[in-house]
């Protein structure tokens, strides 16, 4: 019988200090199929893929390519076997062009001189063939995350890889980009590429994958045909119990205005235009206001302007009746503002600090953690971090002393959410609070956000995920090209209508 599997990973076990990341896991990828790998954060999906990609060596188990056992010691071996990977955090050189990034490592040359022309033709042909539109001469730092991802995909195709691994590819994309990516993946599979698709977004798996293998806490749970399984069944397999996919919440009871933004304008770093133009909005106590929009429409700059990371060109910000426009960041944060940042690696964490140190990053100077001579009170820091870790179920290899860098993305995010909510703010600003999280964690964080609202706090969320926007918010503001173009009620609007506003096809005069 002809071997039908492109890749087989049989009985893989991989241990880390204090944790068994993969415990006897088996997955088999058929040729030309899209195979989803589903699991919560820390379930061991990324570890398993790193084993396949040669970044880690498994203690037990074998890997077969086209039925033959192979040994993959490093990414070069993986590449030689035709295995390519799009990492969750892209591996691109920011100051190089798209083309340079694609050919990097396999530069075509004659006598040591670069032959970019043929490379360009090959790249253009590939992007034509698979519908991957991207300008080969654009610099990585200037293009959107979606285009960066296409660059990564082109990189694999350029190397003529047969097995493509996508590690949570949709976590960073807008709804439109996700749809395009799904199409691209289908095209690739139709051309005979075998795809491993790591995700915890059930509807995406349902939409694109042929089969789905589920991992839970490092153990292999099972493989199902996605067309035969319901979303509820998949999610039960993933978390081990049934979860409600919708946020349970009561009617909001908006109180006094807590945040009042008047005519805020923020300059852009990318171009000469302003990124945020004359935005005014109010957030009241006891309501969740959600700013929806496609990535790159000024949301990042808006939040940076609001929290003080970027200076304002003009405008006024009032928090709890106090003008905070010109306050330094520390003062803003002690005046009742909490901020869950968009980029957890860039802003949210000091990755080389331990988990406990990251837990007190916003509060280390308080008398509880620093005595009057300026010495840190390590005992209290340990106790406090242990409390947060337990309360918010932050999982890590070694508890409080785990270095943040070694934690999974979801648990890093949980640590930040724990830190920011536990500060007991008056206003919680959360940017993409559930980005890259699994269903269980999303449910938990959404509950926490609603609890903050019910405790009479104001909540301002910036999100790219339509589902989240519709689920959590009491009021939706749509941002398009730096302006608020619509105010919608999540109870009466539809995702389609929201999409029209987000794409700029529809706009109202909004007086918030």
Name the site residues for another protein (rule: CB under 8 A). 57, 59-60, 307, 309, 328-334, 339, 341, 346-353, 357, 361-362, 364-365, 369-370, 374-376
State the minimum distance, in angstroms, from the CB of residue 348 to another protein.
7
State the minimum distance, in angstroms, from the CB of residue 90 to another protein.
18
State the minimum distance, in angstroms, from the CB of residue 329 to another protein.
4
CA distance 435 to 344: 10
CA distance 379 to 247: 37
Give yes or no for a contact between 501 and 477, defined as CB atoms under 8 angstroms apart.
no
Strand 257-267 to 274-284 pairing: antiparallel
| Tokens found for residue 423 | 């500060």
State the minimum distance, in angstroms, from the CB of residue 278 to another protein.
26
Give yes or no for a contact between 78 and 162, defined as CB atoms under 8 angstroms apart.
no
Q: Which is nearer to another protein, 84 or 308 (CB)?
A: 308
CB neighbours of residue 112 within 10 Å: 6
Q: In 3D, which of 22, 153, 143 has the Cα closest to residue 91? A: 153
State the minimum distance, in angstroms, from the CB of residue 468 to another protein.
22
Q: Which is nearer to another protein, 70 or 309 (CB)?
A: 309
Q: Which is nearer to another protein, 15 or 249 (CB)?
A: 15
State the minimum distance, in angstroms, from the CB of residue 424 to another protein.
16
Q: Which is nearer to another protein, 329 or 451 (CB)?
A: 329
CA distance 57 to 50: 8
Q: Which residues contact 123 (CB under 8 A, 6 or more apart)?
A: 98, 99, 102, 103, 136, 154, 158
State the minimum distance, in angstroms, from the CB of residue 347 to another protein.
4
State the minimum distance, in angstroms, from the CB of residue 36 to another protein.
29
Give yes or no for a contact between 177 and 94, defined as CB atoms under 8 angstroms apart.
no
Looking up tokens 């730092």, which residue turns up? 141
Q: Which is nearer to another protein, 25 or 156 (CB)?
A: 25
State the minimum distance, in angstroms, from the CB of residue 475 to another protein.
27
Q: Which is nearer to another protein, 348 or 425 (CB)?
A: 348
H/E/C letters for each residue in 452-511? Answer: HHHCCCEEEEEECCHHHHHHHCCEEEEEECCEEEEEECCCCCCHHHHHHHHCCCCCCCCC
Q: Which is nearer to another protein, 313 or 376 (CB)?
A: 376
CA distance 234 to 237: 5
Q: Which is nearer to another protein, 161 or 411 (CB)?
A: 411
H/E/C letters for each residue in 175-236? Answer: HHHHHHHHHHHHHHHHCCCEEEEEECCHHHHHHHCCEEEEEECCEEEEEEEHHHCCHHHHHH
State the minimum distance, in angstroms, from the CB of residue 324 to another protein.
13
Q: Which is nearer to another protein, 96 or 369 (CB)?
A: 369
CA distance 92 to 413: 23
Vertex 26 angle, CA 23 and 30, to 5°: 155
State the minimum distance, in angstroms, from the CB of residue 48 to another protein.
17
CA distance 397 to 302: 36
Q: Which is nearer to another protein, 94 or 352 (CB)?
A: 352
Q: Which is nearer to another protein, 103 or 333 (CB)?
A: 333
What SS3 class is residue 309? Answer: coil
Q: Which is nearer to another protein, 112 or 374 (CB)?
A: 374
State the minimum distance, in angstroms, from the CB of residue 128 to another protein.
39
| Tokens found for residue 235 | 């999610």
């Amino acid at each position: 019988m002809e071997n039908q599997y492109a890749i087989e990973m049989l009985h893989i076990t991989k241990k880390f200090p204090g944790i068994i990341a993969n415990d006897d896991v088996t997955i088999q990828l058929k040729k030309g199929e899209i195979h989803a790998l589903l699991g919560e954060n820390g379930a061991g999906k990324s570890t398993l893929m790193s084993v396949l990609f040669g970044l880690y060596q498994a203690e037990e188990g074998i890997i077969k390519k086209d039925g033959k056992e192979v040994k993959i010691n490093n990414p070069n071996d993986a590449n030689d076997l035709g295995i390519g990977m799009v990492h969750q955090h892209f591996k691109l050189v920011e100051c190089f062009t798209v083309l340079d990034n694609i050919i990097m490592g396999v530069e075509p040359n004659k006598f040591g001189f670069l032959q970019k022309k043929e490379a360009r033709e090959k790249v253009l042909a590939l992007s034509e063939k698979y519908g991957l539109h991207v300008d080969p001469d654009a610099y990585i730092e200037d293009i959107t995350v979606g285009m960066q991802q296409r660059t990564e995909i082109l990189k694999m195709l350029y190397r003529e890889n047969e097995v493509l691994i996508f590690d949570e590819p949709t976590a960073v994309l807008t709804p439109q980009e996700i749809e395009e990516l799904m199409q691209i993946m289908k095209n690739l599979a139709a051309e005979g590429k075998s795809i491993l698709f790591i995700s915890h977004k059930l509807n995406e798996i349902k939409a694109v994958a042929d089969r789905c293998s589920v991992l839970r806490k490092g153990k292999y749970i099972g493989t199902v045909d996605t067309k035969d399984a319901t979303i509820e069944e998949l999610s039960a397999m993933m978390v081990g119990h049934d979860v409600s996919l919708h946020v349970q919440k009561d009617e909001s009871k908006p109180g006094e205005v807590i945040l009042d933004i008047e005519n805020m304008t923020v300059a852009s770093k990318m171009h000469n235009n302003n990124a945020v133009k004359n935005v005014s909005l109010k957030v009241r106590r006891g309501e969740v206001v959600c700013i929806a929009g496609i990535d790159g429409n000024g949301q990042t700059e808006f939040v940076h302007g609001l929290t003080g990371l970027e200076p304002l060109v003009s405008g006024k910000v009032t928090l709890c009746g106090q003008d905070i426009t010109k306050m330094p960041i520390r003062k803003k944060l002690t005046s009742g503002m909490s901020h869950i940042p968009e980029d957890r690696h860039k802003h949210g964490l000091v990755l080389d600090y331990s988990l406990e140190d990251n837990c007190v990053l916003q509060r280390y100077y308080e008398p509880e953690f620093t005595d009057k001579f300026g010495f840190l009170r390590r005992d209290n820091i340990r106790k406090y971090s242990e409390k947060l870790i337990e309360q918010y179920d932050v999982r890590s290899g070694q508890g409080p002393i785990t270095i943040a860098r070694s934690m999974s993305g979801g648990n890093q995010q949980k640590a930040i959410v724990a830190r920011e909510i536990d500060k007991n703010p008056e206003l919680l600003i959360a940017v993409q609070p559930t980005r890259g999280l699994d269903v269980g964690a999303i449910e938990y964080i959404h509950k926490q956000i609603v609890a903050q609202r019910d405790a009479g706090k104001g909540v301002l969320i910036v999100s790219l995920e339509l589902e989240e926007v519709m689920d959590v918010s009491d009021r939706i503001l749509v941002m398009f090209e730096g302006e608020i173009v619509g105010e919608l009620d999540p109870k009466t609007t539809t995702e389609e209508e929201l999409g029209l506003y987000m794409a700029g096809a529809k706009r109202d005069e909004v007086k918030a």
